[in-house]
Amino acid sequence: MLRDCPRVIRAVCMVVKRMSKYFCQYALFSSHVIKTALLWCMDEMEPTSKRSSFSYSDEVDGDELLLWVQQILRQLLCFIAQDYFPSYFMPKCCQPVWLKERYLKQFHMHLYQHGLLTYTDLLSLNEQQSRDYWLKSIKYMFICSHLMYWTALSDDDELKLFVPSTINPLMESDVCTTLLPED
């Protein structure tokens, strides 16, 4: 699907992948997660306006590229807020959002085990919690992912935190099936 897309779509995919890899000391998202976010963003466009809104020229318009970067980064933050990303082709199959996350909801469960209810609780860790390697890593990735999105916004856009609404990930009824990569 992506091979037949306009040049701006292929360009935005490369830009977001590079941002994810080099924005901070950790690579935040896998290429698969980024491409899935792109597919979901493309799907949100109305079918009738899909083809007419794409520019198929060899030139990549900077404003259009920026708009797509913003949309994909926003979609990635929405994935973070729901604590998984649904497969584009099989939406009931859910996978971890973060590159460092080995299984679904690993980070959220780690937060809960340390008495933190949401990602925003990471912003005020106590002394004991701030010594935990994973809590510090999760905090850093959460902040960096938002900073990455905020840097792509214009001065008029509102800064918003994307935070999961779940309180206890262990008690939540899962509506999706987890597909774990084979080692």
Mean of the per-residue pLDDT values for the chain?
A: 81
Whether 183 is covered by a domain: the verdict is: no
Specify the 3-state DSSP secondary structure of 141: helix
Give the model's pLDDT for residue 6.
82
Weakest mean pLDDT among 68-77, 107-116, 128-137: 107-116
Number of domains in the chain: 1
Q: Could you list the residue range(s) of the whole structural domain that residue 129 is in?
A: 2-178
Residue 167 has pLDDT above 70, yes or no: no
Whether 75 is covered by a domain: the verdict is: yes
Whether 25 is covered by a domain: the verdict is: yes
Whether 169 is covered by a domain: the verdict is: yes
Whether 67 is covered by a domain: the verdict is: yes
Closest to 27 (Cα-Cα) out of 118, 125, 145, 114: 145
**Among 26-30, 114-118, 162-166, the range of highest mean pLDDT:** 26-30
pLDDT digits (tens, 9 = 90+) for 65-98: 999 999 999 999 999 888 889 999 998 899 999 9
Whether 54 is covered by a domain: the verdict is: yes
Weakest mean pLDDT among 23-27, 91-95, 178-182: 178-182
Give the model's pLDDT for residue 182.
47
Whether 130 is covered by a domain: the verdict is: yes
Closest to 72 (Cα-Cα) out of 111, 123, 19, 118: 19
